[in-house]
Every structure is written in structure tokens, then in C-alpha cells.
């Protein structure tokens, strides 16, 4: 039995027309169950992701009294987002942009290193489609049984099995939609309200939308989402190079393919026995023997299937492998295999960009101020000239206390001679105002600023508000704003 082939004696693989159709009007991939390394990796990845999705909202984090105790929470009513010890305010929505950049660059880096590893193991469409297909397998049977049931006329037995399968999909989809709402409110209370039908209508609508898409896309659309709907499959090849790991078929070793010889003599032929196990195990129905294709999600299940066949015939594993094209070409030419090269210009660029964005976000989080100020100059009227001739402008001065401690501040203004401040509802004009702001809240103050008419250089001037926290000299926040007057 010949366990290897001289690539120089193998005829070129024929290029059949229409062998890899882009669009398939009818039919759906019905993958066969396989065992192996990549199948185990998919189980682990799916288990961890599903556990995070369903159990993540129940993680607790102590932020002190009167503070949400959920570790990760998007509090729409309170207009806050919490991630463990990080609290994001509405005006800090730019952090979402940073997170999207980190996610995008991470995806680019993952693709440059290991091809479509995201699609094969981490994408939610892949995870739920795989789960739904396994439910079919557990209830109906493996590939042959599912195909036979699909072709059989409707009967009581078929209806019962389909009811169990679709009912299981429905329960999982409803749980998925319900879990989505738990990230936007206290998970324990939200779950009780949902199950006792006391939650608000928006929660049920959100559950219906998320659960409905899960039910339709993972239960019925399946691989069509990956092939026709997902934009990533269209441009992911632009992020690959000859050293990126992708699922590949060693045509020089496998061709010419033919059915398995009865005497197990593979002399003068390829190792591929044309069993189509690789195609039958593929969740998108790809025949990897015709090269890397748009529909291939890089899950590696075809590798597990092919390795089982190779082991059965006593042939070397790796006819289909998760490897780079550079390594495949080196083996075909019988030269030194370069091996996996994670460090190269493409990955350095992606890694550098990821490091820069992450460093900027981390620095911003560590150095962000705990006090914010917003100033609104009142427009109606723009100014008032008092009986003594002085000019008065009105302002709404907002102080954001972004920590969970009550804080006291002093406020003064400069920029014009003789400026005085008066807090509406306060004791009267003064050179400096005392402001108190409750913990983790916004203090809104209406105040008047007055200046002698003689101090005005024209129709308007610029004044500066200076806010200083009591007991922290030097920690001042300065904001320039307009001071309007009648002009001269």
C-alpha cells in the first residue's frame, strides 16, 4: 500500500463547469455528524458563548448602596451603562465607537491569522444553527434519517418529530430573546416580570424581535445567511495572505480521486476515495476539494471527517487540513515547509492598530474626569439691562457628579471687571457661589451673571466660569461662554 504520492506523476485536476454553484434555489445542507478535534472545539466554543449569553446578566458587582448590583448592565431608564467597575454616561457614547473599532480590528487580525475562525466557531448564527441541527439529529437521527424524513409523506410519526424539533427551536429562541432583555434591567427582577407577564410591552417586543430572528435564521435560513446575507464573506479574502490558516485540500496528494480500491492499493492514484464525507459533514454544503470558497466558514468539520476516512484506510491524515497556502505549496514541491508565521507585515499592522485603539481607550478611561460641566446661555431674552445700567445674562449651569459621593463646589466667573453671580432661589449676588451635587447625578442650576455696562467692550464678550471642588484646590474646570450686551 502506497501511503504517499509523487506529485510529479499526478495528472492535473479537471476543472468541471458549474461544480461550485453560487446560488442554490432548492435544498438545504443536511450535515452529517462527525467526531474529532474541530467538533470538540465547536462544542466548547458554543458552550462558553451560550453560557455567557444566558448567565452573564446574573453576574453581580457591588457598587455601593443605591447602585445597580448587576456586573454588566445597559440601564436605559437611568441612562447609564455599567461594565463591572466602569460606568458610562450618555455623553460618553464615543466609547461605543471605540469598542466597535476594537471589534472590527480584532476581526481583521483573526482573519489574517486563522481565516474565518470567527465564522466557524464564534458567530452567533453558526452557534445557533449548529445547536438547532443537533436538536434535529437527537430527535430524528443523523443525516440519512433526516433526509429520509424530509422526503417521506406526512404522517403522525413525522408530525410528532417535527413538532418536537420546531418546539425545541421555539423554546430556545424565546429564551434567547428573553435573555437579551436581561442585559437592560436587573436580571432577577426582569426575569420575574417576564415570566409573570408584568413586564412592559417594550420587553416583550424586544424578546419577539430577537427570538424571532433566532428562530427564522438558525432554524430555516441557516447557511443562506452565511452565503447570501452576511457581508463578511464578501470581503474576508482581502484580509488573507499566503500565510493565513484556512481549510484547504491537498489536491496534489488527493487527485486523481476514485472510489476506494478493494485491495487498498493506492499506487498510481490519489488518496481521495471520493466518499464525499467532507461535503456531507459541511454545514454549508461546500465541496472543499474545489478550493477555498465564499461559502466555507472554516469550521474544520470536513477535516475531522476526512481524517476518519484516512485513518480507516491507513493513510496519512491531513488530506484536508487547517493550514496556509504557503505550507501546502511547500509540501507539494517537496521543499522546506515554512510553518505558521503569525508575525508578518499584515498582522503587525492589524496588531498595531488594535494596540493603539485599545491604549487610547484605556488611557481615556483611566484619566477621564469625574466631574462634567454643561453651560446653556438663555436666549429669551439674550440679555437684560437693569435700572442701574448693569447688564445681566441668564445661564443654565449643569454639573455632572460622576462618582457615588455627594460633592460640594464653588463657582466664580472672570473675564469682565465687576462680574457678580446670583443663583436663582439663592441669597443674592455674590462673587462666588456654593453648589452641592448629589452622588451620581446631574445638578442643574439657573443663575444670573451681571456686569457693569462700562465693562462691556462691545455687543458681546467672553467670560469664563471656574468650578472648583471643595477641599481640592487646583482641581478646577474652566469653561468659556458668551456674555451678551446692547453694544455701544
Confidence class of residue 27 from pLDDT cuts 50, 70 and 90?
A: low
- pLDDT at residue 310 greater than cutoff 80: yes
Please give the residue that has the higher pLDDT: either 21 or 48: 48
Residue bearing cell 499506487 = 267
Digit-coded pLDDT (tens) for 147-165: 999 899 999 999 999 999 9
Please give the residue that has the higher pLDDT: either 398 or 295: 398
Digit-coded pLDDT (tens) for 230-258: 888 888 888 888 899 999 999 889 888 88
What's the pLDDT at 26?
53
- pLDDT at residue 4 greater than cutoff 60: no
Digit-coded pLDDT (tens) for 98-151: 999 999 999 999 999 998 999 999 999 999 999 999 999 999 999 999 999 989
Q: Three cell numbers at 31? A: 450535515
The length of the chain in residues reads 488
Q: Which helix (H) or strand (E) holds 123?
A: none
Region 412-440 average pLDDT: 89
Distance between CA atoms of 6 and 9, rounded to whole angstroms?
A: 6
For 25, phi then psi, to 5°, come to -70, -40
For the entire predicted model, the pTM comes to 0.83
Prior bond of 256 cis (ω within 30°): yes
Confidence class of residue 7 from pLDDT cuts 50, 70 and 90?
A: very low
Digit-coded pLDDT (tens) for 445-479: 999 999 998 888 888 899 999 999 887 766 789 99
Q: Which helix (H) or strand (E) holds 85?
A: none
Confidence class of residue 1 from pLDDT cuts 50, 70 and 90?
A: very low
Q: HSE on the CB side for 140, CA within 13 Å?
A: 30
Average pLDDT, the chain: 88
What's the pLDDT at 22?
46
Cα dihedral 281/282/287/288 (nearest 10):
-100
What's the pLDDT at 9?
39
Burial environment of residue 232 by CB neighbours within 10 A (0 to 12, 13 to 18, 19 or more): middle
Region 42-48 average pLDDT: 96
- pLDDT at residue 13 greater than cutoff 50: no
Percent of the chain with pLDDT over 90: 60
Digit-coded pLDDT (tens) for 352-410: 999 999 999 999 988 888 889 999 999 888 999 998 889 999 999 999 998 888 999 99
Contact 104, 236 (CB under 8 A): no
Biggest CA–CA distance in the chain, Å, is: 114
Distance between CA atoms of 15 and 146, rounded to whole angstroms?
A: 32
Percent of the chain with pLDDT over 70: 94
Domains of the chain: 371-484 (2.60.40.10)
Distance between CA atoms of 265 and 95, rounded to whole angstroms?
A: 63
C-beta atoms surrounding 290 within 10 Å: 14
Question: Terminus-to-terminus CA distance in the chain, angstroms?
Answer: 106
Q: HSE on the CB side for 383, CA within 13 Å?
A: 21
- pLDDT at residue 20 greater than cutoff 70: no
- pLDDT at residue 291 greater than cutoff 60: yes
Prior bond of 381 cis (ω within 30°): yes
Digit-coded pLDDT (tens) for 202-215: 999 999 999 999 99
CB within 8 Å of 140: residues ≥ 6 apart: 146, 149, 161, 165
What's the pLDDT at 473?
66
Please give the residue that has the higher pLDDT: either 232 or 305: 305
Please give the residue that has the higher pLDDT: either 224 or 488: 224
Amino acid at each position: 500500500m502506497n501511503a504517499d504520492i509523487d506529485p510529479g506523476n499526478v495528472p492535473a485536476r479537471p476543472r468541471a463547469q458549474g461544480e461550485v454553484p453560487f446560488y442554490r434555489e432548492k435544498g438545504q445542507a443536511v450535515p452529517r455528524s462527525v467526531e474529532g478535534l474541530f467538533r470538540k472545539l465547536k462544542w466548547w466554543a458554543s458552550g462558553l458563548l451560550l453560557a455567557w449569553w444566558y448567565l452573564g446578566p446574573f453576574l453581580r458587582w457591588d457598587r455601593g448602596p443605591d447602585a445597580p448590583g448587576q456586573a454588566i448592565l445597559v440601564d436605559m431608564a437611568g441612562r447609564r451603562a455599567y461594565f463591572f467597575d466602569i460606568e458610562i454616561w450618555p455623553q460618553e457614547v464615543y466609547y461605543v465607537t471605540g469598542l466597535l473599532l476594537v471589534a472590527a480590528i480584532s476581526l481583521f487580525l483573526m482573519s489574517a491569522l486563522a481565516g474565518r475562525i470567527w465564522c466557524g466557531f464564534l458567530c452567533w448564527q453558526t452557534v445557533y444553527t449548529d445547536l438547532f441541527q443537533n436538536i434535529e439529529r437527537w430527535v430524528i437521527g443523523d443525516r440519512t434519517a433526516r433526509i429520509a424524513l424530509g422526503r417521506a409523506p406526512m404522517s403522525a410519526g413525522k408530525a410528532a418529530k417535527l413538532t418536537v424539533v420546531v418546539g425545541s427551536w421555539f423554546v430556545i429562541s424565546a429564551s434567547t430573546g428573553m435573555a437579551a432583555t436581561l442585559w437592560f434591567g436587573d436580571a432577577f427582577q426582569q426575569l420575574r416580570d417576564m415570566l409573570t407577564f408584568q413586564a412592559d410591552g417594550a420587553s416583550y417586543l424586544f424578546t419577539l424581535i430577537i427570538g424571532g430572528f433566532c428562530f427564522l435564521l438558525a432554524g430555516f435560513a441557516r447557511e443562506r445567511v452565511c452565503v447570501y446575507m452576511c457581508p463578511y464573506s464578501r470581503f474576508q479574502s482581502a484580509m488573507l495572505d499566503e500565510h493565513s490558516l484556512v481549510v484547504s485540500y491537498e489536491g496534489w496528494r488527493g487527485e486523481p480521486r476514485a472510489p476506494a480500491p478493494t485491495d487498498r492499493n493506492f499506487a498510481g492514484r490519489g488518496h481521495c476515495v471520493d466518499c464525499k464525507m467532507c461535503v456531507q459533514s459541511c454545514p454549508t454544503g461546500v465541496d472543499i476539494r474545489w478550493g477555498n470558497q465564499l461559502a466555507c466558514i472554516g469550521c474544520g468539520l470536513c477535516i475531522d471527517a476526512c481524517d476518519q476516512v484516512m485513518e480507516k484506510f491507513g493513510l496519512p491524515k491531513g488530506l484536508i487540513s487547517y493550514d496556509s497556502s504557503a505550507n501546502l505549496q511547500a509540501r507539494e514541491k517537496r521543499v522546506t515547509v515554512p510553518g505558521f508565521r503569525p508575525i508578518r507585515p499584515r498582522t503587525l499592522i492589524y496588531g498595531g492598530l488594535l494596540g493603539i485603539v485599545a491604549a487610547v481607550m484605556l488611557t481615556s478611561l483611566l484619566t477621564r474626569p469625574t466631574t462634567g460641566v454643561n453651560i446653556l446661555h438663555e436666549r429669551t431674552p439674550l440679555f437684560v439691562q437693569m435700572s442701574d445700567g448693569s447688564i445681566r445674562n441668564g445661564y443654565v449651569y449643569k454639573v455632572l457628579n460622576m462618582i457615588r459621593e455627594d460633592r460640594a463646589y464653588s463657582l466664580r466667573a472672570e473675564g469682565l471687571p465687576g462680574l457678580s453671580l446670583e443663583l436663582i432661589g439663592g441669597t443674592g449676588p455674590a462673587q462666588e457661589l456654593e453648589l452641592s451635587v448629589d452622588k451620581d447625578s446631574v445638578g442643574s442650576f439657573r443663575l444670573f451673571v451681571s456686569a457693569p455696562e462700562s465693562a462691556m467692550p462691545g455687543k458681546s464678550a467672553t467670560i469664563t466660569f471656574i468650578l472648583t471642588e471643595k477641599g481640592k484646590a487646583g482641581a478646577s474646570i474652566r469653561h468659556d461662554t458668551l456674555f451678551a450686551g446692547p453694544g455701544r
